[in-house]
Structure 1
Amino acid sequence: MLIKLLGPVEVAHKQGWSRGGTPKQACVLASLALAPNTVLSIDVLAHRIWGADAPAEARNVLYGHVSRLRQALGTHEQVELRRAGGSGYVLDIAPTDVDVSFARLLAGQARAARAQGDVTTAARHWREVVGLWQGQPLSGVAGGWAERTRRKLRDEHVAALAALGECGLELGRHAEVAADLEAAAERFPLAENLVEQLMLALYRCGRHAEALAWYTDTRTRVREEFGSEPGKPLRTLHQRILRQDPALLLVDAPTVDATESPAWTAICQLPPDIADFVGRERELDTLTATVLRRGGGAAPAIATVHGTPGVGKSTLAVRVAHRLRPHYPDGQLFLDLGGAAPAPRDPSTLLAELLRSLHVEPAAIPETLAERTALYRSTVADRAILLVLDDAADEEQVRPLLPGTAHSAVLVTSRHHLVLDGATATPLDLLTRCEAFGLLAQVTGGRRVEDDRASAEIILDACGQLPLAIRVAGARLAARPTWPLRALADRLADASDRLDELSAGQHSVRASFAVSYAALPAAARRAFRLLGPAGFETIAEWSVEALLCQPRDVTDAAIEALVVAGLLTACEANPAGEPRYRMHDLLRAYACDRARVEEDERHQRTALRRLVAECLHRVRSAVRDLSHPFAPPPGPSACGGAGYEWLAAERHNLVAAVRLAAETGHPDIAVELAYHLTAYLKARGYYDDVVRVQQAAMAAGDAHQRMRCRLILAELDVDRARYGAALSEFEELSRHFEQTGDRHAAAYARTGRAACRHALGDHENTIAELDRAVSVLRAAGDSGGAVYALLVLRSVHLEAGRYADAIAVSAAALELTAGRASLDRAWVLRGLGIAYYETGQVETAVRYYEESLALARHFDCDGGARKTLRRLGEAYGALGRFEEATETLTMALTRFVRSGDVLGEALTAYAFGELCHRQGRGREALAHFTRCAELIGPTGSRTWRIRALREIGRARAGLGDRAAAVAAWTEALALCRDPHSAEAREVAHLLTDVRQIHP
């Protein structure tokens, strides 16, 4: 089987199964898999994804979805997703490799067997069909087509369950039918044919009251759902049960030979349960319920638990086994399979051990694996045995150990996900914080943990909430009752000694990891060692490939080996469609430990340089259409490559890569990577990350590079409305660059200085400075810097009321951005919208705003989008589109608050005030204008504080509070630097008017 649709959409790969991408990608895969070897047109696929509302760019988006699906499908020889003549796509795949097609094939064989009178074979086929369903079909896929398909597949599921029940009743397997159909009837409570079979099976088992209770419940549901009575067949069966019709018992279960079997001595090999077991309630309940629910079926119940070393798999399995003991009275067996060791135990040896435990004489144990498996299965065939297989290496080691009949159950633990037919897999993650705290308290004893929670939190952080590490830490504390928690917390805070401290008696975190590490092949061991010093939060295949510098197949094999060993944990694929992996903090510490001991320092530095160089190459390509940071570009721009989804997935790693490049002696890479990465971080509003990468670059770079990094950080202060601090920094930088002859960087400093002065209300003295900056930046071929300077110049003209000049400057900037979609173009379009709005051409402004917003959203730039949303909401209000204005401004405000953009929040409050004023809601308008002034404060934007005070005065006057209005306007007038400016004249006019009307 390669593709599953009867549950979550999943695709087979080397490690097991993975989700079929995003919901839209899963929709494409499901569509093609349900029509194997058949061409589906692009229009049909688009309609199934988006319905009638397919976007204009649907075709291009669909290409991307198909491309990522090809990656997900990998290199399976049996399957190919290909373009068909330009009109659509086709999935070449055998019907048996798609669970839906396979189910239908089996259903056909079942019907044929039944027609020939072979009910036993038909029942076997129907059970296989039913076993293919793993939950709601196409789970997670939305839309009308998916819902219709789900309904059809639901009907097929119910029909298969009914056919299986019919065969079971005919064969006299009434208890088995009752067990099967109870769960089915709960899931499909309105499927009366299933309820009818269930009632008959229960009646034949002598469970008359339960049969009647099912009818009562079903009748209630039908009446509530449809307002009618159940169908005639169900009503008739109900009446026959009430009068105990003898004909209902005509088909009896086969009689069982009552001859007594030889005496059987029950055996229990389970390790003792742990008294201080904490947490895992959900996993305990799930595993227990899974085994009990599947028990009594056609096959043994099998449940697997997988997770990283030390996460508590064995402990959990033992506790579940003790819970299940009463249900398996014939014995509970335990085997350590040694799967993490370099040489896992041989299945033949393990079978011999099992047979001896089951009282088979050593001389009677056969030689071959096949014979031992057959003897083992016949020995336990009619016994209720619970088998715990701990630390399994792989499926091939486990399969010979599985019982062959339904009476037994198996619990398997492994460091990776095992794919066993009919097994239910439970991934085991780290403890929750609450569980981890409880475990530490239990193992330590007394109230020591409660009395020093701060130190306990440090210990848990150092342990990474890994149960083994917490138990070791707790054991050390328990052994020294007078030792304060702070002492151990201080020792564990040192990452280099952490593993040494996490050792107590027989228990050692390092030893647990070492077993898995020693069993790895050479390439996987080296990948593990190098991933430690790299320090990436999550790991993608490209990063391992860069570190190893080996062919792709070697990298893939190394990653697979690390996942199988539990040293890497597979995560969900990122939005870019790449599989990702995670390494626990303590495993990373162990990897660094191994690197110090085993890795040549020169070779390690070379590998890490390849990694950070690859980061730079990919980031440089990915940000080419974003606004570059506020400093001269360090090199030529790159062609397009990785997209914004990739940047989002790798953000934390890329921030760490800047520091890694600096620490490993590659300052030029650190500086350039910080520069290009800042383009993305700033566009998404990750200001703290911008500070981190620029500070790391400053620490690594030379004096010249440090000053250019300071330019970027100063402009970040402008974005955060910290104009005073930014102005001081730009003045110092301007002097430095002019003295050193760096005219290019000096033009940036002058532009930044002009932007600060403009924000602080000094407009006229900035025009000449900005004109000079634009000339220098144009001459340097720096269109991005020139656009920024032109946008500041446009704002100056707008403040002065020179709207024609503002439009002309915006047109010049628009010309510089011609030829391709970019964020710079989005900002220019927004500027044009502002200029036209101020001239009263609001409809034109709205068109520019909407085009700007579309570009900002295309580049996933929240910072620019929220500013444009504010302007768009303001324009909607001016057009009387009040509902749209409220909705748009609310979206803008939410984004400003979430990003910590105080000035944006203040200006949105101002826009809300205008909107309320237009609607005649004076008191609400006053509240919004007052909020705007409070957020700006006395040190913020002078221009916007003057405007807020002006509108506060107007609102106060409108509410009859003349004194408060005069006070607000007087304060505003005092803030005006130029008494002849348009704003000063307007405020003075308002004061004169109010004094003439109310002397």
Structure 2
Amino acid sequence: MVPLPPLKRRLLGALLLSERRTIAVERLMLAVWGDTHARKEALKTHVSELRLLVPGRIPPAGPDGYRLRLLPGDTVDVDTFHDLVATGERLAEAGEHRAAVASLREALNLWGADPLADVPTGDPRLRQRRQALLRQRQDAMVLMFGTRLALGHHREIIADLRGELEDSPDAEALHVLLVNALYRSGQRVPALQHADAAAGILLEENGDPGERLRRLRARIAADGAGPAVTAGAGGAGTALPAVPAQLPPDVLDFTGRSHEVERLTELLTPAPDATGVPIVGISGLPGIGKSALAIHVAHRLRPRFPDGQLFVHLAGRSGRSANVGETLAELLATLGVPAQDLPPSTVGRAGLLRSVLAGRRVLIVVDDAAGVSQASHFLPGTAGCAVVITGRALLNGAGIRSFPLQPLRGEESLTLLGEIVGADRVRREPEATRTVLEACGGLPLALRIAGSRLSSQPHWPVELLASRLQDRLKGLADGDLAVEASIAESYEALPAPARHAFRVLALAGPGDWPMWLTGMLLGAEQADDALAALTSHSLLSPAGADDLGHPRYRQHDLVRDFAEARLAEHVDEWDTTMNRLLLGWLLLADRASAAIPGEPFFPPPARLHWDLHVPVQAQKLIDADPGGWLARECAQLLAVIRVACEENRYRQGYGIALRLASHLYRAGRDRDAEDMWRIVMRTAAAAGDRRLAAEARHRMAALITRGPGGPARALPMLDTCVAVFAELVDRNRWARSLALRAFCAYRLHRDSGGAGVERAARDAEEALELARLTGEGHTELVCLRTLGLVASASGRHTEAIGRCEAALARGRAITETSGDAACEVFAAVALATVLVAAGEAGRALTVCETALDAARGTGHVPAQAALAERAGDALSALGRTREAARRYREAVALCGTDGADPHRARYDGKLSRATTGDGGSPA
């Protein structure tokens, strides 16, 4: 076979269709392109190229045009087709039906899937020749189907006849054959229905409903009983009943899922030339609406399966699973098979079902299957049918399209609740409705229960139900419907190791979490089996992969609530898992925080050097990119800190918070950091741990200080911290609290001077004395920096510069020791500030430029913004406002990521003044 491009196939087809006679140039152009406009040269080119592909077969053009010449040994499919059809006709007349079918099938196979697709139709004579050939093909097709009908293949040819009629709806002979095949298969009612429908088609297409079809319909209508149909080998014949329609009613208020419905409809619609059975397996967690979706789609597909719809409910998720053999018996009885003809074995009954369904177009819904092996007994064996299976377990297998179902989207959930209780009712209370929707988590079952409770109490405000959903599982129950009971069925069906893993993974927390966390909570040897079991039972969902390609998972909130309740029933299991969880995250956070710059105003936490419960995969990820790892897992770490405090294990939560704080600072996530320390502070205070509560309060004050009005809000908190640490004689924390209190007083009174600044100076001097007693460099740096700023506010510029230079020297010493330049950068910001105030703008600019390189190296975004601002101040003081504006713009661009950078308004104000030529002012 020589592969040809489309135009050359059309050219060759035209030459072949002319039956080796010469065809005029104009006719060839019309055949190939549909017109003759300026095509002669193109035709010459294509003929020349075609000669190279079929050498010796296209003579030079004569005065009348071109022709095709066959060489000895060449054959043409049309000639072979005619010979085979003639042989088939002779064999059929002689009663040798099997041989006739073989010859006719061989003839028809020559046509391919799309008969004469490349034969051109632009020329009228070629078009007539093409139509004549297609009629000959159809005649051969009719002869073959008629011969097969004589052999008793009435069931087997039904699907093929339907496929041919889709292409040739006006072929009366094919309609007659299909009606005969349906009738002889025991489908009397479908035969009559098709005869009526075909008569209408023929009348519309041909102006005549067809005499042969009318006579056949009259004979079938006169036969009230219908023909006998063999149910099985050796079985008695019986007439099949009317078309089965077993689908449960569609849900009246079915909502959303438009994409899923369209996709399933597409997957379950058999292709005309398909030889297999479309099978789709819908899986998903309990209450997600698998059955409702399957039934809804099945009702939409009913017109495409005129021979009936069967519904099989297997209850496969629990010990009350249906008996497959008995279910098959009931199904076969529905299809007209007498009890005495039923094979004794399940395998035999499944085989009989396939025989009965052969040649028919039936849609089968297998609901709530335990797995593919259970559902496989109900699968047809021949094309024309389709099957949709639902089950909680992931439905994978040869020929099965897996279709995992996800929760409803937000708008779909709102629409469904509105359909149940009334759109006006939910619209009146948007906040309470949002709370109810969040509690339901997109599960249709939960939404229907919530809607049912509201519908049964029409006088209830939505807020009343919302308040009762704090315990979601308890609140989402109404009579026999309960989300908890639905989840419990799946849980109880798990083997013991999977149940243990299900309970333990509840502590992985909300949102998605990394695959390696499973190993940390369960042990590496159990992790893979646990993930496979829970994912296959839809109690755990894949959540994609992180930016390094490592898998992540999540549990639905309601499923996690159930798992937590079960875990609480196993006290030892709870304690063991909680220890592994907190210790594992603590060690991982320590490993990551040790590799990134710390907070400039706090000493780094003591390093930990164990690897108990720490997954190797997580260690590798941290070592490859510690900052990226902290960014990816930040939400998980914050959640773990909250869990630790809720469990009164606040010391472990505090340890994790210490190691997360530097990342939050670098990322500008002050709001998250403040919430984190507030949880730790309240829990420690409730436990009577004054030292740890005061430390968390101090950290909160440091964050609050940076915000609008922060110094005034932070001062009372710092008064408490100073008092507690003084009483406990904790000199380091006492010094840091005094230094921060001094900074707050400086911020409040720097413009007015007076007693406030003096108080700041006294606190800073006392802090410096305490810091030098302990020899703790970070605390000494903070004190020196504060003293410098206080002196600057009082106009003592030489002292201010000296203090800040000492702070910078201390910062450089810390950098040399630890490799962390954060403290050095922190001190440089203060030095640049006092230099600008002292009128040494050029020197301040040099300090900023040098420190900016170090700040970029550390990744400290807030420090970069502060230095850009100070550089802008220096440039404004030097009269270089255009350059100053560029620096302020840089500071604005570096604002924090949590949406409320406390310095943004100041940066914007300075940028505005610089761009209008007014210059900036120092901080």
Q: How would you bin the TM-score normalised by the shorter chain?
A: 0.5 to 0.7
Structure-to-structure mapping, 1:94-109, within 5 angstroms: none
RMSD: 4.4
* Preserved CA contact (<8 Å) 1:571 1:579: yes
CA deviation vs aligned residue, 1:339-361 (integer Å, no higher than 9, x gap):
42257557666655554444445
Structure-to-structure mapping, 1:52-451, within 5 angstroms: 204=115, 237=120, 239=122, 244=127, 246=129, 252=137, 255=141, 256-258=144-146, 259=149, 260-261=180-181, 262-264=185-187, 265-292=242-269, 296-342=273-319, 354-366=331-343, 374-399=351-376, 401-421=378-398, 423-444=400-421, 448-451=425-428
CA deviation vs aligned residue, 1:801-848 (integer Å, no higher than 9, x gap):
766875564244123113665462673596499589965369966753
Q: 2:449 aligns with which of 443, 465, 472?
A: 472
Question: 1:309: how far off?
Answer: 0.9
Structure 2 residues not aligned, in runs of 5+: 1-76, 82-110, 150-179, 188-241, 612-618
For 1:689, the aligned partner's letter is D
Note closer, same or farther for the CA distance 1:391–1:686 as it changes in structure 2 (3 Å cut).
farther
Question: 1:283: how far off?
Answer: 2.0
**Separation in structure 1 between the aligned mates of residue 352 and residue 882 of structure 2, nearest angstrom:** 78
Note closer, same or farther for the CA distance 1:400–1:891 as it changes in structure 2 (3 Å cut).
farther
Structure 2 residue aligned with 1:508:
482
Q: Per the alignment, in what secondary structure is the counterpart of residue 817 of structure 1?
A: helix
Q: Per the alignment, in what secondary structure is the counterpart of residue 267 of structure 1?
A: coil
Structure 1 residue aligned with 2:633:
650
For 1:815, the aligned partner's letter is A
* Preserved CA contact (<8 Å) 1:794 1:831: no
Question: 1:240: how far off?
Answer: 5.3
**Separation in structure 1 between the aligned mates of residue 256 and residue 380 of structure 2, nearest angstrom:** 31
Q: Per the alignment, in what secondary structure is the counterpart of residue 392 of structure 1?
A: coil
Q: 2:648 aligns with which of 660, 665, 672?
A: 665
Using the size of structure 1 for normalisation, the TM-score is: 0.60
* Preserved CA contact (<8 Å) 2:288 2:405: yes
**Separation in structure 2 between the aligned mates of residue 240 and residue 879 of structure 1, nearest angstrom:** 87
Structure 2 residue aligned with 1:698:
681
* Preserved CA contact (<8 Å) 2:505 2:518: yes
Structure 2 residue aligned with 1:85:
none
Note closer, same or farther for the CA distance 1:531–1:902 as it changes in structure 2 (3 Å cut).
closer
Q: 1:623 aligns with which of 588, 593, 597?
A: 593
Stretch deviating more after TM superposition (626-635 or 302-311): 626-635
Question: 1:716: how far off?
Answer: 0.8
| Residues 1:718 and 2:705 aligned together | yes
Question: 1:782: how far off?
Answer: 4.4
Structure 1 residue aligned with 2:194:
none
Question: 1:248: how far off?
Answer: 8.6
**Separation in structure 2 between the aligned mates of residue 364 and residue 851 of structure 1, nearest angstrom:** 89
CA deviation vs aligned residue, 1:402-451 (integer Å, no higher than 9, x gap):
44444222223233543344554444322233332332233336954455
Note closer, same or farther for the CA distance 1:843–1:257 as it changes in structure 2 (3 Å cut).
farther
* Preserved CA contact (<8 Å) 2:498 2:533: yes
* Preserved CA contact (<8 Å) 1:291 1:302: yes
Structure 2 residue aligned with 1:960:
none
For 2:559, the aligned partner's letter is L
For 1:747, the aligned partner's letter is A
* Preserved CA contact (<8 Å) 1:711 1:749: yes
Structure-to-structure mapping, 1:448-847, within 5 angstroms: 448-453=425-430, 455-482=432-459, 485-490=462-467, 492-495=468-471, 498-532=472-506, 535-548=509-522, 551-575=523-547, 577-596=549-568, 598-599=569-570, 601-624=571-594, 625-628=596-599, 635-636=606-607, 641=619, 642=622, 643-701=626-684, 702-721=689-708, 722-760=710-748, 761=750, 773=767, 777=771, 780=774, 782-789=776-783, 792=786, 800=797, 806=804, 809-818=807-816, 822=820, 824=822, 827-828=825-826, 831=829, 834=832, 839-840=841-842
Note closer, same or farther for the CA distance 1:808–1:276 as it changes in structure 2 (3 Å cut).
same
Question: 1:871: how far off?
Answer: 5.7
Question: 1:274: how far off?
Answer: 1.0
CA deviation vs aligned residue, 1:724-754 (integer Å, no higher than 9, x gap):
2334433443344234321111221132133
Q: Per the alignment, in what secondary structure is the counterpart of residue 411 of structure 1?
A: strand
Q: Per the alignment, in what secondary structure is the counterpart of residue 333 of structure 1?
A: strand
* Preserved CA contact (<8 Å) 2:841 2:877: no
* Preserved CA contact (<8 Å) 1:770 1:789: yes
**Separation in structure 1 between the aligned mates of residue 466 and residue 589 of structure 2, nearest angstrom:** 39
Note closer, same or farther for the CA distance 1:502–1:739 as it changes in structure 2 (3 Å cut).
closer
CA deviation vs aligned residue, 1:749-779 (integer Å, no higher than 9, x gap):
1321333244342689867865775675577
Stretch deviating more after TM superposition (368-377 or 900-909): 368-377
**Separation in structure 1 between the aligned mates of residue 280 and residue 114 of structure 2, nearest angstrom:** 32
For 1:478, the aligned partner's letter is S
Structure 2 residue aligned with 1:140:
none
The percent identity for this pair of structures is 30
Structure 1 residues not aligned, in runs of 5+: 1-167, 173-199, 206-210, 212-233, 933-942, 945-999
**Separation in structure 1 between the aligned mates of residue 882 and residue 389 of structure 2, nearest angstrom:** 59
**Separation in structure 1 between the aligned mates of residue 548 and residue 875 of structure 2, nearest angstrom:** 36
Stretch deviating more after TM superposition (757-766 or 254-263): 757-766
Note closer, same or farther for the CA distance 1:833–1:753 as it changes in structure 2 (3 Å cut).
closer
CA deviation vs aligned residue, 1:380-414 (integer Å, no higher than 9, x gap):
34322222222333344445544444422222323
CA deviation vs aligned residue, 1:627-649 (integer Å, no higher than 9, x gap):
24866666445589543344334
Q: Per the alignment, in what secondary structure is the counterpart of residue 257 of structure 1?
A: helix
Stretch deviating more after TM superposition (467-476 or 792-801): 792-801
For 2:286, the aligned partner's letter is P
Question: 1:587: how far off?
Answer: 2.2
Note closer, same or farther for the CA distance 1:814–1:897 as it changes in structure 2 (3 Å cut).
closer
For 1:470, the aligned partner's letter is L
Across the two proteins, how many residue pairs are aligned to each other?
692
**Separation in structure 2 between the aligned mates of residue 898 and residue 327 of structure 1, nearest angstrom:** 55
Structure-to-structure mapping, 1:783-932, within 5 angstroms: 783-789=777-783, 792=786, 800=797, 806=804, 809-818=807-816, 822=820, 824=822, 827-828=825-826, 831=829, 834=832, 839-840=841-842, 848=850, 851-857=853-859, 862-868=861-867, 870=869, 889-890=888-889, 892-894=891-893, 896=895, 899-901=898-900, 903-913=902-912, 915-916=914-915, 921-922=916-917
For 1:653, the aligned partner's letter is Q
* Preserved CA contact (<8 Å) 1:661 1:670: yes
**Separation in structure 2 between the aligned mates of residue 504 and residue 291 of structure 1, nearest angstrom:** 35
Larger radius of gyration: 2
Question: 1:712: how far off?
Answer: 0.6
* Preserved CA contact (<8 Å) 2:671 2:898: no
CA deviation vs aligned residue, 1:567-586 (integer Å, no higher than 9, x gap):
22221233465433222232
**Separation in structure 2 between the aligned mates of residue 862 and residue 242 of structure 1, nearest angstrom:** 80
**Separation in structure 1 between the aligned mates of residue 80 and residue 792 of structure 2, nearest angstrom:** 88
Note closer, same or farther for the CA distance 1:852–1:637 as it changes in structure 2 (3 Å cut).
farther
**Separation in structure 2 between the aligned mates of residue 415 and residue 355 of structure 1, nearest angstrom:** 26
* Preserved CA contact (<8 Å) 2:844 2:871: no
Question: 1:270: how far off?
Answer: 1.1
**Separation in structure 1 between the aligned mates of residue 405 and residue 813 of structure 2, nearest angstrom:** 57
Q: Per the alignment, in what secondary structure is the counterpart of residue 571 of structure 1?
A: strand
* Preserved CA contact (<8 Å) 1:302 1:422: yes
* Preserved CA contact (<8 Å) 1:477 1:485: yes
Question: 1:331: how far off?
Answer: 1.9
